[in-house]
Chains A and B, each alone.
Chain A
């Protein structure tokens, strides 16, 4: 067993280490804290994971690769096969059989004393489980998009602020050098004043029609998987493919909003605000239970005049990724180390000492662990994540209603449209409720 090491202990230790140096920089380099080497078990961040499917396991593996800085002790999932796979992975690393397992997050949160938790669940569960974990004062690594509705997002943001915990969103593109470089060039005016932004996200894929109702596999707690979502018979659509059904997700658009819109906002200085007007249209599959839009195209206008177009990549000349257009040129960035500009010389520009230097992290999971230990803000805090998915969710509302949505980014409410305003939240199926903060 490993004793719980609170964030305060880490902060204290960090301060002690930093006292030996004359200045406390905003980000304490890990070497200053002796974080580079192997840590004694008592110094490790004790973690658990709720949601141990593909993304949950992927995140857990990324944490486990951090040279023994993290000790997983408990896992939770509604699929007992996946739960066992996660336990086996943890036990193998820990060389014991002690990893505790839970099928219900409420028991997990009530019983486990942890430093941090890694959360990777279908979007319709984010509102409840993210807020509950934060209310339990756990530091959280939470997957994007952080919410299925704007109301869920507002609740999670409020909980994080109130409980003063470390929150890292799984928008790991921020921790890749080329995305940061692109955003940093843009925010320092290397393409002039930003006029517009294009964000290309994946097209939707093939449908599957409506599969027949089938028996729930014995390893799956279907009722718990559905949770606050409408009760429907099991048709074999569960892990991974839940994201093509609007009761659980908004499709490719909301899945990726937390990546490329997040990067767009980072470079354009829109991280802590939102659009004032959103309009557009979507293409919805005509047949079958997958009903998330397979194409989408909406325009967001910001107070400062910037216009951001978000569309499935087939509709955009530059395809996937983020493109900022300024009055002096453009910069485009995407996965696969893609960073291009209207003039290649722009990319050779050096950012001066007195200019804006964006937060630098080279490993998204390490950055979270470092933050938990130091108490410093990580690279992807909660509000920018809420703001990036808000753009997607407002786009979703504009497409569903067919209306131009006017949004107050300060009060965070839709202006003068009671019908659209109702789409800011989704009622939960009883007995589930969005927790209070």
Chain B
């Protein structure tokens, strides 16, 4: 157990050092952590949050710890002004009044704050009205409001292994509820939708607040959920800049199913291509969705489409690519392909297992009737 702590500690330290080296035009971000219900658990989340923000490629992060629980907090007064964004991943002893006031001033002057769960502001205790449901898979519903954080995202998505925090006081009228969630209906339990993602503008600054992302010592599905990751990345950018420039990723979860990112990172194009070549419908259909989204993104751009077509023909010509990958590549080429792909498709016609797919593609491409 002890070595686990040390390992995580070193990991955190290394990441801080690495991300501290990069800077440039990135959003200067201070992540504050240091207390939570269980040290190992909160450290898991802090590490995840830093990974998630680093993976977005637009933040330069620094992580600091408050003094441990029960110890003197009077010396805790980070210089918020040096940052564009302060991420509060903290649930513990009240901060000194001056620090809280400085944070408020930071926002009013145009700074951004992200609150991860933290049901009360760092200066005050948790309100007695707050309760937490058991861990569950549930659906998050985006509200029909125009907001940069949720613009273009699915209206409904599955979120795994998380709790819903109920009874959070939301008296502040400037708070905009961006998403709600309800526990799956159970006997004797109310399933009224609770706000889970919120945003507000304050002075010249902004606060993004997610109530999702409960860490655990097991699979941490709620943190690996692409929906949690992407809304956090978008919310953080919005809090810091008032805009969201990140594009909607192809793997955002939907009402059909949750999507987990094993290391908090999205598949790179190279990784996706390798997975596509090895396509096996029984394992994962995600690489196919990736291909389709790449084609859509390239819409109207002949040059990018040709680059894609060449990659796809590469799969048709590969002796290692699976039959299934060749089938789905031909299905897409059947409508978006050019003369370039025809010889590679025609050649596969001699393979009895691919004959139907070759006929399909060549007919749609107008090569044969």
A binds B: yes
A residues with CB within 8 A of B? 203-207, 209-210, 212, 230-231, 281, 283-291, 294-295, 312, 314-317, 400-403, 419-420, 422-423, 425-427, 429-430
Residues of chain B lying within 8 A (CB to CB) of residue A426: 364
Query: Complex Cα distance A290/B281, Å?
Result: 11
Q: When the two chains form their complex, are residues A430 and B297 in contact, meaning their CB atoms are under 8 A apart?
A: no
Which residues on A sit within 8 Å (CB–CB) of B317? none
Residues of B within 8 A of A (CB-CB), count: 40
Chain A residues with CB under 8 A of B282: 210, 212
Count contacts between A and B, CB distance < 8 Å.
Answer: 110
Bound state CA distance, A291 and B365, in angstroms? 23
B214 in contact (CB, < 8 A): no
Q: Nearest B residue to A417 by beta-carbon distance?
A: B300
Do B335 and A286 touch across chains, with their CB atoms under 8 A apart?
no
In the complex the two chains form, what is the Cα distance from A291 to B364 in whole Å?
A: 21
**Contact residues in A for B285 (Cβ distance below 8 Å):** 210, 286-289, 291
Asked whether B299 lies within 8 Å of A401 as measured between CB atoms, the reply is yes
A402 to B248, CA, bound (A): 14
Q: Is the CB of B356 within 8 A of A230?
A: yes
Whether B257 pairs with A207 at a CB distance below 8 angstroms is yes
Q: Which of B128-158 contact A (CB under 8 A)?
A: 141, 144, 152, 154-156, 158
Give B278-298 as 1s and 0s: 1 = Cβ < 8 Å from A's Cβ atoms.
000110111001001001111
Give Cα A332 to B295, complex, Å: 37
**A404 to B324 Cα, complex, angstroms:** 30
- Shortest Cβ distance from residue B264 to the other chain A in the assembled complex, whole angstroms: 17
* A400 surroundings in chain B (CB, below 8 A): 292, 296
Task: For B156, list chain A residues within 8 Å (CB).
Answer: 203, 294-295, 314
Question: Which residues does chain A contribute within 8 Å of B154, judged by CB atoms?
Answer: 283, 294-295
Q: Is the CB of B335 within 8 A of A287?
A: no
Determine the residue in chain A with the shortest Cβ distance to B284: A287
Bound-complex Cα distance A82 to B297 (A) = 44
In B248-280, the 8 Å CB interface with A consists of: 250-257, 259
Cα A315 to Cα B152 in complex, Å, equals: 11
For B141, give the chain A residue with the smallest CB separation.
A314
Pairs A–B under 8 Å by Cβ, sample size 17: A204-B255, A206-B257, A207-B257, A210-B285, A230-B356, A231-B356, A281-B152, A285-B257, A286-B251, A286-B257, A286-B285, A287-B284, A295-B254, A401-B299, A422-B364, A422-B365, A429-B360
Once the chains bind, are A286 and B356 in contact (CB under 8 Å)?
no
**CB-CB < 8 A to B298: which residues of A?**
402
- A312 — nearest CB in chain B belongs to which residue? B155
Smallest beta-carbon distance A84→chain B, Å: 32
CA distance A346 to B20 in the complex (A): 65
Q: Is the CB of A286 within 8 A of B364?
A: no
Residue of A203, A204, A210, A283 with most partner-chain B CB within 10 A: A283
For residue B357, CB closer than 8 A to chain A, the reply is yes
B363 at the interface (CB under 8 A from A): yes
Residues of A contacting B250 in the complex (Cβ-Cβ under 8 angstroms): 286
Q: Mark B155-192, 1 if CB is under 8 A from A, else 0.
A: 11010000000000000000000000000000000000
CA distance A317 to B155 in the complex (A): 12
Could you tell me the distance between the alpha carbons of A290 and B300 in the complex, rounded to whole angstroms? 28
Task: Judge if B334 is at the interface, Cβ distance under 8 Å.
Answer: yes
Counting from the closest, the 4 A-B pairs by CB-CB distance are: A402-B296, A285-B256, A207-B256, A402-B299
Nearest CB of A to B225, in Å: 12
B359 at the binding interface (Cβ < 8 Å): yes
CB distance from B268 to the nearest CB of A (A): 17
| CA A283 to CA B150, docked complex, whole Å | 14
Given A284-B292, A422-B364 in contact, is the A295-B356 Cβ separation under 8 Å? Answer: no
Interface residues of B in 303-323 (CB under 8 A from A): none
Residues of A close to B259: CB separation below 8 A: 286-287
Q: Please report the C-alpha to C-alpha distance between residue A312 and residue B360 in the assembled complex, in whole angstroms.
A: 31
Q: In the complex, which of the residues B257, B295, B297, B336 contacts A288, with contact meaning CB atoms closer than 8 Å?
A: B257
Cβ of B229 to closest chain A Cβ, rounded Å: 14
